[in-house]
A and B are shown apart, each in its own frame.
Chain A
Amino acid sequence: MLILHCPYCGVDADETDLHAGGEAHLKRQGPGSSDAQFEDYLFMRENPKGVHFERWRHVYGCGKWFLAARCTSTLEVFGTYSAQTTEPPQDIKDAISAKRPGWTWGNYS
């Protein structure tokens, strides 16, 4: 059972206090997008063994959504950060690079 740090209220929350929201940093596709773009947005996910970016909501706490970077195989958490960003902040990327040199995920590295 994971423990994730909520970047909004500062609580180290048990997984039972959280709600998982799937992959982070999806780029929404609306009317005007191609079938391929829309399929990619709706259905295609990274599903890596290793570095991953996820959405979590502190549902039984402050109610805020936040993002987490963690390793899916060791469950190491590299950091949590605001959901109000379109890509992982540099300090999170640096924290991952320190632990997993050469990592890539989607278009990020």
Chain B
Amino acid sequence: MSTRLADQGRLVNKNKAVSFTFNGKHLQGFEGDTLASALLANDQMLVGRSFKYHRPRGVVASWAEEPNGLINMGKGGTFEPNQRITTTELFEGLSATSQNHWPSLEFDVGAINAALSRFLPAGFYYKMFMYPRPFWKHVYEPFIRQSAGLGKAPKDRDADTYEHFNVHVDVLVVGGGIAGLAAAQAAGERGARVLLVEQTAHWGGRAAVDSPEIDGQPAAEWIKSTVQALEKMDNVAIRTRCMGAGVYDHGYALAYERLTDHAPEIDGPRHRLWRIRAKQIVTATGAIERPLSFAGNDIPGVLLASAVRDYVVNYGVSIGDRTVVVTNNDDAYRTAIILKQAGLDVPAIVDARAQAAGPLIDQARELGIRVELGKGIASVKGGKRVTGVGICTQAGEGAVLEEIACDCVAMSGGWSPVVHLWSHCGGKLIWDADQVMFRPDPERAPTGDKGQPFVATAGIANGHLFTAEVVGDGWAAGRAAAKAAGHMKKGGQAPLGHDVEEGPISPVWLMPQGAGQALRAKAWLDFQNDVKVSDVQLAAQEGFESVEHAKRYTTLGMATDQGKLSNINGLAVLSKSLNADIPDVGTTTFRPPYTPISMGAIAGAARGPMFQPVRKTPMSDWHNANGADNEPVGQWRRPYAYVRPGETVHDAVNREVKNTRENLGLLDASTLGKLIVKGPDAGKFLDMMYTNMMSTLPVGKCRYGLMCSENGFLMDDGVVVRMAEDTWLCHTTTGGAERIHAHMEDWLQCEWWDWKVYVANVTEQYAQIAVVGPNARKVLRKLGGMDVSAEALPFMQWAEGKIGDFDARVFRISFSGELSYEIAVPAGQGQAFWDALMAAGEEFGVMPYGTECLHILRAEKGFIMIGDETDGTVIPQDLNLQWALSKKKEDYLGKRAHERSHMADPNRWKLVGLETVDGSVLPDGAYAIADGTNENGQKNTQGRVTSTYYSANLDRGIAMGLVRNGPDRMGEVIEFNKVDGTTIAAKIIDPVFYDKDGEKQNV
């Protein structure tokens, strides 16, 4: 059983007990524990179930590489799935539940899959779920969705807060082990601005556990004094619980700081995302130990040798009373020695190497530990817990020579440098056959904006396994990085490390070497996703030769640990199956983040009202105080309708529609884009921008204009006003102001840069109010001021003057078909002008109206709306707007494109009005059905609805749509589909439903 030892445990405070619950069970640990160490201290080895076979799973590792110990944390607004117990620091009241089992962790029905494992081989999903086809939708997909994913998605809104830091540094050092500390110190002493981040809560990395000698003192002392020295340096910032998550282009990096996960009672943000611009980056990210592939290596109680050592030294927790160590290198002997020195039993060290000699082996033997050379593990006994191992000859096929009873197996297949951050931005790797590892190739580092290398790697991450090399390499990397960042200050001295001599490692990718199918099918590579040696071999046999294909076919390395334990072993098996060298097979791509970071940290403060700025017109507050039901239009919030007490939104819209036609309506049109285009060449420029001729527009007049993109599609429309000889005012759609401004700037700066034109976006400088309806002129006359008579200010003209006391530009334009004045006043006068109109309009039946009323009024008149009638594939000809395409101009944007064969096709869908036979409202976006079916067996179509409304004025549904040859088919009845499978009949008619002759607007 696993238990707490009387002494040992450098990180835990045994005077301070901490209570927590696991699956509802009340347990106790100590301050300084991780959830994993606290569970193990309570003999809770079984922590989860594997994904595919629901095999019992125990803790394998002691930090981020842990594939099995995944739990649901918290409740309600702080619930979070898939948290690793090895990286979760224990706090009072922590509540955790295990995942992927039913009905309970101890008894799981899904474990039946394990018995069926012969029938669930690699690529099972692709093979099994193909046929018969209808089964996909009704049987397979629901089944897969049900069983997909470990843990449950949170249901409540995240109750925590998050934030971003933006920093610029000379040198970013990732990893606070001895290499990273040395690098930070060296760079700091040179005068560079340094940020050092460490993912755990503690400095020193592995050296703090194994405690070699540095500068003549134990590593722990050196670590302490170095951290103290760094803390005193003004140009160096150091952070624990802060993981280097990703390295990106040109020295951009992300770090993920966990501020309150270990102590939820602390106020403030939970996570902080550091967005870092570094001139140089040193990745001192250490290494991860590899498992060995032998039958039963997934049974709870089989751990990495280094993890077994970590639990004893750091937390004072023994995994078992009797531990068999199995290895292909000297390092694992340290585990045996530490266990023995802690008074625990080590019945054997099973060393796959035929020969091994050196101080560590001697020390183990001197402690009385039996060392078996040239041996391997044939199989592990046990179900939910290891009970023993069968020993065999490594060179053989797995005949058991001897069974040894034990309750823990500590395995070591060697160390893989953590090359993730080096690789994120293009750093290349080389295969080091002597050390059996991929390590960074210093000749092929990630390069920055000037082609200079900007990432260096140091310590074990750089393939240096020995202390002397590690601290020396870290120091050198820190100095070089500071120099590359322009800091040359002299001084300081590299630390000196001292090592115990170690013998060479021997590659072991399968144990025993000649293991047959039965053993290979129980030798796990990926513990979480249930990928075994036999699966990778099958993938190779079936032709998945690329490592990227084999990964996706078998799901190797696709679990939440992203293959930190499994990738190298898996690709070694693949290369063996393909008779290729490991470097020729290569690795899968390392992608950020290094371990998952929270969605909250990515969002930072950009949530809710902070997600994006909301734009307000000068009258927005009035709208909100008067029943506005808002809708988003770009970043604006425009009133959809002004709802009165007792009304539905629909009622309000109908009231506004009728009142505007019968009396007087006010629309806040301030959001419409207003671009001033000015200069000697402004007319010439606008003739290129618009399909119409704008240069000939007389001063004082207005013209409706269309804008096309260079490939001919309609992109915006609006009324253009000639203000002066060299000045035009271009109105754009609400959503189009910034886009059209940018479009104009693009052409002015990049194509016609010698034209003398200046464009200014004055959208927010003016409040604009549309005064609409039969009483529009009456209310303006009541306010007094300029002459707004039909004679002085006819339709499609404008004038500047005073309306009441207000400085007004009055445009006689109409988007409703009514008598209409759009009046712009300086933004600061907007609310007062609105108030004046409301007061003066009372006797004329004034009501404000919203965007839905605006839409209905324009649809009644058959006016198009950009974004409804257009969708980026529609040209002016489709909307019967040929009259707006100038024939006199040699060129304008879109003119050449309209000559292309598809644009000139007579069979394009064209705009018509649609009137349902029964008077109902057509569904928006419905398709008009044509005869026959296409090659996919779907019904052919001949048109679609682009705008559809209930018109209160006509008391029936009205719609516009694009129909093939529509204008030639007036009076024809066609069928539109509905989502319930039925159809609805509509007659093709003229799109102008109301006041066809335009008598109402021209009075």
- Judged by a CB distance under 8 angstroms, whether B751 is at the interface is yes
Segment from B37-45, B353-361, B892-900 that makes contact with A:
B892-900
- Judged by a CB distance under 8 angstroms, whether B15 is at the interface is no
When C-beta atoms are compared, the residue in chain B nearest to A15 turns out to be B249
With both chains docked as a complex, state the minimum distance between the C-beta of B95 and any C-beta of chain A, in angstroms.
39
Residues of B within 8 A of A77 (CB): 449-450
In the complex, are the beta carbons of B896 and A83 less than 8 A apart? Answer: no
With both chains docked as a complex, state the minimum distance between the C-beta of A81 and any C-beta of chain B, in angstroms.
13
In the complex, are the beta carbons of A1 and B248 less than 8 A apart? Answer: yes
In the complex, are the beta carbons of B248 and A29 less than 8 A apart? Answer: no
- Judged by a CB distance under 8 angstroms, whether A42 is at the interface is yes
- Judged by a CB distance under 8 angstroms, whether A11 is at the interface is no
Residues of A within 8 A of B753 (CB): 83-84
- Judged by a CB distance under 8 angstroms, whether B993 is at the interface is no
When C-beta atoms are compared, the residue in chain B nearest to A42 turns out to be B711
In the complex, are the beta carbons of B891 and A31 less than 8 A apart? Answer: yes
**How far is A28 from B895 in the complex, measured between Cα atoms in Å?**
13
When C-beta atoms are compared, the residue in chain A nearest to B250 turns out to be A3
In the complex, are the beta carbons of A30 and B449 less than 8 A apart? Answer: no
With both chains docked as a complex, state the minimum distance between the C-beta of B428 and any C-beta of chain A, in angstroms.
12
In the complex, are the beta carbons of B896 and A99 less than 8 A apart? Answer: no
In the complex, are the beta carbons of A75 and B750 less than 8 A apart? Answer: no
- Judged by a CB distance under 8 angstroms, whether B746 is at the interface is yes
In the complex, are the beta carbons of A3 and B449 less than 8 A apart? Answer: yes
**How far is A64 from B742 in the complex, measured between Cα atoms in Å?**
10
With both chains docked as a complex, state the minimum distance between the C-beta of B921 and any C-beta of chain A, in angstroms.
39
- Judged by a CB distance under 8 angstroms, whether A59 is at the interface is yes
**How far is A86 from B451 in the complex, measured between Cα atoms in Å?**
27
In the complex, are the beta carbons of B426 and A30 less than 8 A apart? Answer: no
- Judged by a CB distance under 8 angstroms, whether B53 is at the interface is no
Residues of A within 8 A of B451 (CB): 71, 74, 76, 99
Tell me which of A33, A64, A76 contacts B447 (CB under 8 A): A76
Known contacts A76-B447, A84-B753: does B746 contact A21 (CB below 8 Å)? yes
Residues of B within 8 A of A76 (CB): 447-451
**How far is A67 from B405 in the complex, measured between Cα atoms in Å?**
72
Contact with B along A5-21 (1 / 0, CB 8 A): 00000000011000101
In the complex, are the beta carbons of A65 and B745 less than 8 A apart? Answer: yes
**How far is A57 from B738 in the complex, measured between Cα atoms in Å?**
14
Tell me which of A28, A38, A83 contacts B900 (CB under 8 A): A38
- Judged by a CB distance under 8 angstroms, whether B749 is at the interface is yes
- Judged by a CB distance under 8 angstroms, whether A44 is at the interface is no
- Judged by a CB distance under 8 angstroms, whether B252 is at the interface is yes
**How far is A30 from B899 in the complex, measured between Cα atoms in Å?**
11
In the complex, are the beta carbons of A38 and B746 less than 8 A apart? Answer: no
In the complex, are the beta carbons of A83 and B891 less than 8 A apart? Answer: no
**How far is A3 from B426 in the complex, measured between Cα atoms in Å?**
17
Residues of A within 8 A of B746 (CB): 21, 57, 65
In the complex, are the beta carbons of B749 and A29 less than 8 A apart? Answer: no
In the complex, are the beta carbons of A2 and B895 less than 8 A apart? Answer: no
In the complex, are the beta carbons of B895 and A30 less than 8 A apart? Answer: yes
With both chains docked as a complex, state the minimum distance between the C-beta of A87 and any C-beta of chain B, in angstroms.
13
In the complex, are the beta carbons of A1 and B895 less than 8 A apart? Answer: no
Which of A21, A28, A83, A84 has the largest count of B CB atoms less than 10 A from its CB? A28
In the complex, are the beta carbons of A31 and B899 less than 8 A apart? Answer: yes
- Judged by a CB distance under 8 angstroms, whether B261 is at the interface is no
When C-beta atoms are compared, the residue in chain B nearest to A75 turns out to be B249
Tell me which of A3, A59, A74 contacts B742 (CB under 8 A): A59
- Judged by a CB distance under 8 angstroms, whether A55 is at the interface is yes
Known contacts A64-B749, A83-B750: does B896 contact A29 (CB below 8 Å)? yes
With both chains docked as a complex, state the minimum distance between the C-beta of A55 and any C-beta of chain B, in angstroms.
7
With both chains docked as a complex, state the minimum distance between the C-beta of A31 and any C-beta of chain B, in angstroms.
5
Residues of A within 8 A of B426 (CB): 74
- Judged by a CB distance under 8 angstroms, whether A48 is at the interface is no
List which B892-951 residues lie within 8 A (CB) of chain A: 895-897, 899-900
In the complex, are the beta carbons of B249 and A1 less than 8 A apart? Answer: yes
With both chains docked as a complex, state the minimum distance between the C-beta of A42 and any C-beta of chain B, in angstroms.
6
List which B238-252 residues lie within 8 A (CB) of chain A: 248-252
List which A12-62 residues lie within 8 A (CB) of chain B: 14-15, 19, 21, 28-33, 35, 38, 42, 55, 57, 59
With both chains docked as a complex, state the minimum distance between the C-beta of B453 and any C-beta of chain A, in angstroms.
11
**How far is A21 from B193 in the complex, measured between Cα atoms in Å?**
35
In the complex, are the beta carbons of A75 and B899 less than 8 A apart? Answer: no
Residues of B within 8 A of A31 (CB): 890-891, 895-896, 899
Residues of B within 8 A of A2 (CB): 249-250, 449
**How far is A15 from B275 in the complex, measured between Cα atoms in Å?**
13
- Judged by a CB distance under 8 angstroms, whether B710 is at the interface is yes
**How far is A3 from B278 in the complex, measured between Cα atoms in Å?**
12
**How far is A78 from B62 in the complex, measured between Cα atoms in Å?**
46
When C-beta atoms are compared, the residue in chain B nearest to A55 turns out to be B750
**How far is A44 from B485 in the complex, measured between Cα atoms in Å?**
41
Contact with A along B671-710 (1 / 0, CB 8 A): 0000000000000000000000000000000000000001
Residues of B within 8 A of A14 (CB): 277
Known contacts A31-B891, A57-B742: does B749 contact A75 (CB below 8 Å)? no
Residues of A within 8 A of B895 (CB): 30-31
Residues of B within 8 A of A21 (CB): 746, 750
When C-beta atoms are compared, the residue in chain A nearest to B452 turns out to be A76
**How far is A95 from B966 in the complex, measured between Cα atoms in Å?**
58
With both chains docked as a complex, state the minimum distance between the C-beta of A12 and any C-beta of chain B, in angstroms.
9
**How far is A48 from B777 in the complex, measured between Cα atoms in Å?**
62
With both chains docked as a complex, state the minimum distance between the C-beta of A78 and any C-beta of chain B, in angstroms.
9
**How far is A29 from B897 in the complex, measured between Cα atoms in Å?**
10
Tell me which of B447, B742, B745, B896 contacts A75 (CB under 8 A): B447
Residues of B within 8 A of A42 (CB): 710-711, 897
List which B744-765 residues lie within 8 A (CB) of chain A: 745-746, 749-751, 753
When C-beta atoms are compared, the residue in chain B nearest to A38 turns out to be B896
With both chains docked as a complex, state the minimum distance between the C-beta of B754 and any C-beta of chain A, in angstroms.
8
When C-beta atoms are compared, the residue in chain A nearest to B709 turns out to be A42
Which of B249, B710, B749 has the largest count of A CB atoms less than 10 A from its CB? B749
With both chains docked as a complex, state the minimum distance between the C-beta of B738 and any C-beta of chain A, in angstroms.
10
**How far is A57 from B451 in the complex, measured between Cα atoms in Å?**
23
With both chains docked as a complex, state the minimum distance between the C-beta of A109 and any C-beta of chain B, in angstroms.
20
With both chains docked as a complex, state the minimum distance between the C-beta of B425 and any C-beta of chain A, in angstroms.
9
With both chains docked as a complex, state the minimum distance between the C-beta of B922 and any C-beta of chain A, in angstroms.
35
With both chains docked as a complex, state the minimum distance between the C-beta of A88 and any C-beta of chain B, in angstroms.
14
Tell me which of A1, A65, A71, A99 contacts B750 (CB under 8 A): A65
In the complex, are the beta carbons of B449 and A35 less than 8 A apart? Answer: no
Residues of B within 8 A of A64 (CB): 749
In the complex, are the beta carbons of A75 and B900 less than 8 A apart? Answer: no
When C-beta atoms are compared, the residue in chain B nearest to A37 turns out to be B896
**How far is A38 from B890 in the complex, measured between Cα atoms in Å?**
16
**How far is A35 from B750 in the complex, measured between Cα atoms in Å?**
24
With both chains docked as a complex, state the minimum distance between the C-beta of B398 and any C-beta of chain A, in angstroms.
48
**How far is A32 from B891 in the complex, measured between Cα atoms in Å?**
10
Contact with A along B351-374 (1 / 0, CB 8 A): 000000000000000000000000
Residues of A within 8 A of B447 (CB): 74-76
List which B16-73 residues lie within 8 A (CB) of chain A: none
Tell me which of A3, A19, A32, A84 contacts B749 (CB under 8 A): A84
Residues of B within 8 A of A30 (CB): 891, 895-896
**How far is A33 from B890 in the complex, measured between Cα atoms in Å?**
12
**How far is A107 from B746 in the complex, measured between Cα atoms in Å?**
24
Which of B252, B447, B448, B896 has the largest count of A CB atoms less than 10 A from its CB? B896
Residues of A within 8 A of B890 (CB): 31
5 contacts between A and B (CB under 8 A): A14-B277, A31-B891, A42-B897, A65-B746, A77-B450
5 smallest CB-CB distances across A and B, nearest first, come from A76-B451, A1-B252, A84-B753, A65-B749, A30-B891
Q: Which residues of A contact B (CB under 8 A)?
A: 1-3, 14-15, 19, 21, 28-33, 35, 38, 42, 55, 57, 59, 63-65, 71, 74-77, 83-84, 99
Given A35-B900, A55-B750, 19 additional A-B pairs, CB 8 A: A2-B449, A3-B277, A15-B249, A21-B746, A31-B895, A31-B896, A42-B711, A42-B897, A57-B746, A59-B742, A63-B745, A65-B750, A74-B451, A75-B448, A75-B449, A76-B448, A77-B449, A84-B749, A99-B451
